[in-house]
Structure 1
Amino acid sequence: MSSNIVWHDASISKTERRDKNNHHSFILWFTGLSASGKSSIANALAQELFERGNQTFVLDGDNIRHGLNKDLGFDENSRKENIRRIGEVSKLFVESGQIVLTAFISPYQEDRDTVRALVAEGEFIEVYVKCSVEECERRDPKGLYKKARNEEIKNFTGISAPYEAPENPEIVVDSENFSIEECAQQLIQILSSKNYIK
């Protein structure tokens, strides 16, 4: 890092932004296998939160790779850099007083812990979207598992690359046995009980 870079404090604090929004700001980090339902649950939850008057934004893995991270591949180092960048972007949303929902496979515990360390206590909620690889492969909405099995896709999580399930997630939603709407409502109940949302 250049020695000519100096941090400039913002004129509006995170606390002031939270007070104006009338809710906590934090990261809901959805992790799970491809086709587990991360993006669907995150978007269903974001819609519900928005309708309740909460300031929300969803960062989706595929969408981010169309822009900010389009220069990254899927090897281990690229995956780490992908999550590092998303972590920094998510931190900005927290500072802006918003609720950011991130839907990324993020297969490595170390990388998820690195993002957690970027923000304060209570600002990172790890949501494990639990769904077996067999069920995800049965769903296969994008045809990715089929391509991975045919070795058309290398380093595919759950098939030819590892997925490290969260060791101690704040929340587990079982998307194999419950619907998207049921998982979203479970999250609403938990966040409401913590007084994190309107």
Structure 2
Amino acid sequence: MREELHMKGKGGEKVTARSYVLWFTGLSGAGKSTLANEMHAMYQARGLNSYVLDGDRLRSSLNRDLGYTPNDRAENIRRAGEVAKILTEAGVIVMAAFISPYKRDREMIRQMFAAGTFIEVYVQCPLQICEARDPKGLYKLARAGTISDFTGISSEYEAPEHPEVVVTADHMSIPASVDHIVAYLKQRRLLS
């Protein structure tokens, strides 16, 4: 379902958008959640209904029974995709921020959505920069062997081959990244 939303913006102007999912993928510490939250703020400022699905939040609630094995990671992403699909069917624009390290899992999610309503945003950031940021101290624990199956250290991250949008987080500021995504959405007529 590709519902078109017509709403009044903050200034009273007509704003048009379609419901879709922006699927942010990248290493831990790349800036996926930060960017998703900034996009959410932009949609809210325009009077559009949006929601952020964050990997950490889902892992502490709906997906708390899952670990980090390849099968558990696949199930984590499948559940996240199902929630995103339900929300888009309700007319919500969804920002999903998940490492989602495997191509096959991201492709499985893409197949759940109508053509043009799944937008893969690759938040590209070199491992050494993600490690230097390490906001949760996870890379340090992974290097010490305390965390096993950690993406980028002891578990592989398969970079997207053909994402709709690439954000180079080590070269682009958050505002520039948001502008880059918005330009893509306007070009595709997903945002007026």
- What's the TM-score once normalised by structure 2's chain length? 0.92
Q: Aligned residue for 1:18?
A: 4
Q: 1:34-53 alignment to 2 at 5 Å?
A: 34-53=28-47
Instruction: Give yes or no for the alignment of 1:178 onto 2:172.
Output: yes
Identity fraction in percent: 48
1:93 to 1:172, Cα distance in 2 relative to 1, 3 A: same
Tell me the secondary structure at the aligned position of residue 177 of structure 2: helix
Q: Return the structure number with greater strand share.
A: 2
Name 1:144's counterpart in structure 2.
138
Deviation by residue 1:131-162 (Cα, 9 ceiling, x = unmatched):
00011011111110000000000000000000
Matched residues in 1 for 2:39 and 2:5: separation?
22
2:5–2:19 CA contact under 8 A, matched in 1? no
**Structure ID, larger Rg:** 1
Matched with 1:75 is 69
Ranked by relative contact order (alpha carbons within 8 Å, sequence separation 6 or more), the top structure is 1
| Corresponding residue of 1:11 | none
Give the distance between the partners of 1:140 and 1:153, measured in 2 at CA: 14
Matched, 1:118 2:112: yes
Structure 2 SS opposite 1:117:
helix
Determine the structure 1 residue equivalent to 2:96. Answer: 102
Task: Calculate the TM-score normalised by the size of structure 1.
Answer: 0.89
Structure 2 counterpart of 1:187, one-letter code: I
How many residue pairs match? The answer is 184
Counterpart residue number, 2:156: 162
CA contact (8 A) 1:56 1:98 kept: yes
Runs of at least 4 residues of structure 1 off by over 2 A? 17-22
1:18 maps to a residue whose letter is E
1:193, CA displacement in angstroms?
2.1
Q: 1:135 aligned to 2:129?
A: yes
Instruction: Report SS of the residue matched to 1:70.
Output: coil
Letter in 2 for 1:96: A
1:3 paired residue number = none
**Secondary structure of 1:23's partner?**
strand
Deviates most, 185-194 or 155-164: 185-194
State the Cα RMSD in Å. Answer: 1.2
Provide the rounded CA distance (Å) in 2 between the counterparts of 1:144 and 1:182. 27
Aligned in 2, Cα 1:138/1:19: closer, same or farther, shift over 3 Å?
Answer: closer
Q: Could you tell me which runs of 5 or more consecutive residues in structure 2 were left unpaired when the two chains were aligned.
A: 8-15
The residue identity in structure 2 corresponding to 1:62 is D
